């Protein structure tokens, strides 16, 4: 007689997430409804109706659902049930609990919205293939629980029981399903197999290469990704996470906690030159010439940038053109765009040489179109300029380094999941405006891809988590003035 083999994951209790309900639309027509989505089941038999209600209620194992379906609808209905179960499991909308006789071991949390691309997998782990934890799985503490999360699928498994955590730890080296170290973790082999099935479904457990290394680390195209890049991508785009998304206000009071403009940062102000925008609008070189002439320029003229050029440049790029009182406090209007009109980016100038300006660090006040002097050329300000010189591949620093610092609370107050990504997008929009104005003025502009926020925090005295550098831009006079307007 052939022994009956137990399917891994057989005891997993499947369930839809909180807030999912089953609604009868018409006779034999049901809708499974969550927040902002629904799945319509046509010609839903009695048994299938019972199954989805069980999933939206206390949950049930695959076998329990199948038994009930067999009783009501007969064996022909099973294929459809399994088809839908796989579809919902792959889309992430069906959660699963692995339990022992003493309680829940781990829960695969359902995604609040199904992902039709099916990021989770539905095949069971093979008995004889060695599996290992994916390098894209990571552990963190969430509300008194330990959670393992995947940056490939966005799936999250709460490890309630220390034995489940031990198994996770053991899977940092490769094991086949048939040789899981269950006894060392205090688990039965069935419990370990169920946990293994959960991790596998979430793509946290991946096949190991003969060297024992996870395939994810070697196989294209995933191998190209660094862990933090993929996590940032998955968490800041839609589809593969449970967090809220976009301008949700994150439960905050309706008024911006941080004003649109910073108060003057010192008592030493430098008035800046204001170009004649009316005249420039009429006489400036054409937009197409500016676009076609735009280049990154890393060589500077023998004479440094002038104060008039710096004033005209900042005015044309970044001044506050107007303010408007809105529902969420005062909003700003500037020449460059900003997601949600947040205008969280502040410009700090490390001046190496610019007319009669004392060398040192300044803050640009966009509302007053003034510089506020913050410090002389301290070792940290010099370090900012030296880092910029290295990024430019030069020995000498640029005449002026513009550090773009984000006031994080102005964005994080409102935007969920995508706040930091939005800030970097704003950096890109500002970079292009800096490039175009510098080109129109015949100056030498170059964006920089990296900078050190710790150095900037020391140079400016600002708190690293409140406001710090997210972008850098080098500016100087040009050795060969190009198409210059004012």
Ligand X SMILES: Cc1cc2nc3c(=O)[nH]c(=O)nc-3n(C[C@H](O)[C@H](O)[C@H](O)COP(=O)(O)O)c2cc1C
Quick one: CA torsion of 61, 63, 66, 71, rounded to 10 degrees?
-110
Count of CB atoms within 10 A of residue 315's CB? 20
User: Nearer to ligand X by C-beta: 44 or 446?
Assistant: 446
- Using the rule CB under 6 A, give the single segment among 16-24, 112-120, 334-342, 446-454 that binds ligand X: 446-454
464: helix, strand or coil = coil
Q: Does residue 137 bind ligand X (CB under 6 A)?
A: no
Interacting stretch for ligand X, rule CB under 6 A, among 17-25, 105-113, 274-282, 389-397? 389-397
Q: Is residue 133 at the binding interface for ligand X, with CB under 6 A as the rule?
A: no
Q: Is 447 in the site for ligand X (CB under 6 A)?
A: yes
| Contact flag: residue 391 with ligand X (CB under 6 A) | yes
Stretch that binds ligand X, among 6-14, 88-96, 102-110, 294-302 (CB under 6 A): 294-302
Q: How far is the CB of 388 from ligand X (least distance, A)?
A: 8
User: Would you say the C-alpha torsion 174, 180, 185, 191 has a positive or negative sign?
Assistant: positive
Other CB atoms closer than 10 Å to residue 258's CB: what's the count?
18
In the complex with ligand X, the residue whose CB is nearer, 11 or 439, is 439
Instruction: Select from 107-115, 192-200, 321-329, 442-450 the region that touches ligand X (CB under 6 A).
Output: 442-450
Q: How far is CA 417 from CA 108, 212, 250, 422, in A?
A: 21, 34, 10, 10
- At its nearest, how many Å lie between ligand X and the CB of residue 403? 13
Judged by beta carbon, residue 65 or residue 448, the one nearer ligand X is 448
Number of residues in contact with ligand X, rule: CB under 6 A?
A: 11
Beta pairing partners, 330 = 325
* CB closer to ligand X, 18 vs 450: 450
Residue 446 binding ligand X, by CB under 6 A = yes
Q: Closest approach of Cβ 110 to ligand X, in Å?
A: 38
| Spatial distance between the Cα atoms of 71 and 66, rounded to a whole number of angstroms | 9
Largest CA distance in the chain: 96
Q: Does 473 bind ligand X (CB under 6 A)?
A: no
Residue written as token pair 């104005």: 437
Q: Exactly one of 385, 392, 438, 441 binds ligand X (CB under 6 A); which one?
A: 392
Mode of pairing for the β-strands spanning 205-207 and 130-133: antiparallel
Backbone phi, psi, residue 282, to 5°: -85, -40
- Rounded to whole angstroms, the Cα distance separating 342 from 426 reads 9
In this complex, which beta carbon is closest to ligand X, that of residue 392 or of residue 411?
392
Q: How many angstroms separate the CA atoms of 246 and 138, rounded? A: 24
Query: x/- string (CB under 6 A) for ligand X, residues 369-388?
Result: --------------------
Tokens of 275: 């170009």
SS3 90: helix
Task: Enumerate the β-bridge partners of residue 364.
Answer: 371
In the complex, minimum distance from the CB of residue 283 to ligand X, in angstroms, rounded to a whole number? 26
Binders of ligand X in range 199-228 (CB under 6 A): none
Distance CA 296, CA 62 (A): 61
Among 295, 358, 376, 479, binds ligand X (CB under 6 A): 295
Cβ neighbour number for residue 142 with a 10 Å cutoff: 12
Report the alpha-carbon distance of residue 252 to residue 328 in Å, rounded: 11
Closest CB to ligand X among 289 and 298? 298
154 with 245: CB under 8 angstroms? no
208: left (phi over 0), alpha (psi -120 to 50) or beta: beta
449 binds ligand X (CB under 6 A): yes
Q: How far does Cα 16 stand from its chain's mean position?
A: 26
Contact between 438 and ligand X by CB under 6 A: the answer reads no
Of all residues in the shown chain, the one whose CB is closest to ligand X is 449
Residue 475 sits in the site that holds ligand X (CB under 6 A) = no
Nearer to ligand X by Cβ, of 418 and 446: the residue is 446
CB of 381 to ligand X, least distance (A): 19
Binding of residue 296 to ligand X (CB under 6 A): yes
If one asks whether residue 314 binds ligand X (CB under 6 A), the answer comes out as no
Smallest separation (angstroms) from ligand X to the CB of 480: 14
Task: Tell me how long the chain is.
Answer: 486
In whole angstroms, how close is the CB of 438 to ligand X at the nearest point?
11
Nearer to ligand X, 36 or 449 (CB): 449
Of 44 and 447, nearer to ligand X (C-beta) is 447
> What mask of x and - would describe binding to ligand X in positions 418 to 437, judged by CB under 6 A?
-------------x------
d(CA 319, CA 337): 12
Rounded Cα distance between 91 and 119, Å, is: 6
In angstroms, the Cα distances linking 242 to 239, 278, 377 are: 8, 50, 47
C-alpha 46 chain-centroid distance: 43
Figure out which of the listed residues 55, 205, 290, 448 binds ligand X, where binding follows CB under 6 A.
448
Q: Looking at 28-36, 83-91, 332-340, 390-398, which segment touches ligand X (CB under 6 A)?
A: 390-398
Give 42 or 480: the residue with its C-beta nearer to ligand X: 480
Residues that bind ligand X (CB under 6 A): 295-296, 298, 391-393, 431, 446-449
């Amino acid at each position: 007689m052939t022994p009956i083999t137990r399917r891994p994951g057989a005891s997993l209790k499947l369930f839809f997430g909180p807030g999912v309900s089953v609604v009868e639309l018409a006779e034999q027509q049901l809708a499974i409804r969550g927040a902002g989505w629904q799945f319509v089941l046509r010609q839903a038999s009695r048994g299938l109706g019972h199954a989805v209600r069980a999933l939206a209620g206390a949950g049930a194992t695959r076998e329990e659902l199948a038994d009930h379906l067999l009783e009501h609808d007969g064996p022909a209905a099973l294929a459809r049930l399994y088809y839908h179960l796989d579809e919902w499991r792959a889309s992430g909308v069906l959660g699963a609990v692995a339990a022992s006789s003493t309680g829940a071991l781990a829960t695969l949390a359902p995604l609040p919205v199904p992902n039709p691309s099916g990021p989770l997998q539905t095949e069971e782990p093979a008995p004889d293939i060695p599996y290992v934890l994916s390098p894209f799985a990571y552990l963190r503490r969430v509300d008194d629980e330990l959670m393992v999360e995947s940056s490939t699928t966005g799936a999250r498994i709460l490890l309630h029981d220390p034995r489940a955590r031990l198994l996770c730890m053991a899977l940092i080296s490769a094991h086949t399903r048939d040789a899981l170290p269950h006894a060392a973790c205090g688990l039965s082999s069935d419990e370990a197999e169920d946990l293994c099935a959960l991790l596998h479904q979430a793509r946290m457990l991946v096949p190991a290469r003969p060297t024992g290394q996870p395939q994810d680390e070697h196989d294209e195209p995933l191998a190209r990704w660094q862990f933090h890049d993929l996590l940032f991508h998955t968490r800041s785009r839609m589809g593969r996470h449970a967090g809220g998304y976009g301008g949700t206000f994150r439960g905050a009071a309706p008024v911006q906690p941080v004003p649109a403009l910073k108060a003057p940062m010192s008592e030493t102000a430098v008035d800046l030159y204001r170009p004649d925008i009316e005249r420039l609008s009429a006489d400036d070189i054409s937009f197409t010439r500016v676009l076609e002439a735009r280049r990154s320029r890393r060589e500077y003229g023998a004479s440094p940038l002038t104060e008039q050029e710096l004033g005209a440049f900042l005015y044309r790029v970044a001044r506050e053109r107007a303010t408007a009182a809105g529902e969420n406090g005062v909003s700003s209007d500037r020449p460059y765009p900003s997601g949600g009109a947040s205008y969280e980016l502040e410009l700090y100038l490390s001046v190496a040489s610019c007319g009669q300006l004392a060398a040192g660090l300044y803050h640009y006040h966009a509302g007053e179109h003034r510089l506020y002097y913050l410090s002389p050329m301290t070792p940290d300000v010099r370090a900012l300029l030296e880092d910029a010189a290295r990024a430019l591949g030069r020995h000498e620093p640029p005449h002026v380094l513009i550090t773009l610092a984000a006031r994080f609370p102005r964005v994080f107050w409102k935007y969920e999941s995508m706040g930091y990504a939005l800030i970097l997008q704003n950096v890109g929009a500002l970079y292009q405006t800096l490039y175009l104005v510098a080109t129109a003025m015949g100056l030498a502009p170059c964006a920089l891809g990296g900078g050190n926020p710790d150095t900037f925090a020391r140079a400016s005295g600002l708190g690293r988590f409140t406001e710090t550098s997210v972008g850098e831009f080098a500016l100087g006079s040009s050795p060969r003035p190009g198409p210059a307007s004012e």
